[in-house]
Amino acid sequence: MSANPSAPKLNTMRYLTFEVNRACPLRAQHPKCPIGHPERYRFGKQEAPLTDGLIMDFWRWCRERDFRGIVLWHWYSEPALVLPRLRSLMREMRAEDPGQPFQLFTARKDLDLSDFDLIKITDYESDKELDDRIAAAFVEGDATPHQPAGWCGRGWGWELLVDHYANWCLCCNDWRAEESVGNLWRDDWSEMLRRYHAKATHLRWHDQDSWEALPRMCRSCMRGNFSLHQSGGTFYVPE
């Protein structure tokens, strides 16, 4: 069925991201990663994980709304653990759209990944400082923003992220599904898209009232992980 021409579109969305599994052999080496945290998925539904059929149906639905971006496999887990499944999904998508690009985030350096268009190797072996995504979810304290005006990069609406249990989450730091707009198994996808656009459009502030109107999770993240947002007042997102 074709999309309603007046419905929100996905033509500016760069990534459609799926968390295809929830395991990682390096979880002990990265204690700041929330993959094994007891509150992972706390506010989302956990009744059924993503299936290949649901992934394909949602991908087709997104394409009906003009999504022409990259399908990305990642989100704290090691997706290369299920590489045969990824390749099966990629073959099915490419059979319908030979031009569909795919990206993989992985810590594996010993695999032939030539069938992916883009690959990002996550390096946990160096001495670089890693994002503390766990702490960023729990920052408390003074309610005054660090900057008088600013925005979160998620306000650009560049990634649609679905977790392992099919919760459509606001961003990659929303690992508890605190700001999820719904669940693909249970909720109307068009209504979820409208909720997502409404949330993403308002992830910016210019005074104390607009700062306090941001989701609790966003204020916590902006205080605890400065690399995930931008400060200033020069970027404009139309209402």
**Could you give the number of structural domains in the chain?**
1
- The answer as to whether 9 is a domain residue is no
Query: What's the pLDDT at 231?
Result: 47
Instruction: Give the pLDDT means over successive 10-residue stretches in the chain (239 positions).
Output: 62 96 90 92 97 98 97 96 98 98 95 96 72 84 72 81 97 94 98 93 87 90 69 41
| Residue 206 within any structural domain of the chain | yes
Q: So what's the pLDDT on residue 24?
A: 94
237 inside domain: no
4 inside domain: no
Residue 3 lies inside a defined structural domain of this protein: no
3-state secondary structure of 230: strand
Residue 39 sits in a domain whose CATH number is: 3.20.20.70
Write out the residue range of the structural domain in which residue 38 sits. 15-231
Per-residue confidence (pLDDT) for residue 2, from 0 to 100? 45
Q: Determine the pLDDT at residue 30.
A: 83
Q: How many CB atoms lie under 10 A from the CB of residue 47?
A: 10
> Is position 10 within any domain?
no
Transcribe 139-196 into DSSP letters. --S--S-SSSSEEEGGGG--EEEE-TT-EEESSTT-TT-TT--EETTTS-HHHHHHHH
User: Which pLDDT belongs to residue 224?
Assistant: 75
Contacts of 128 (CB under 8 A, 6+ apart): none
Does 1 reside within a domain? Answer: no
pLDDT of residue 27: 85
Residue 145 lies in a domain: yes
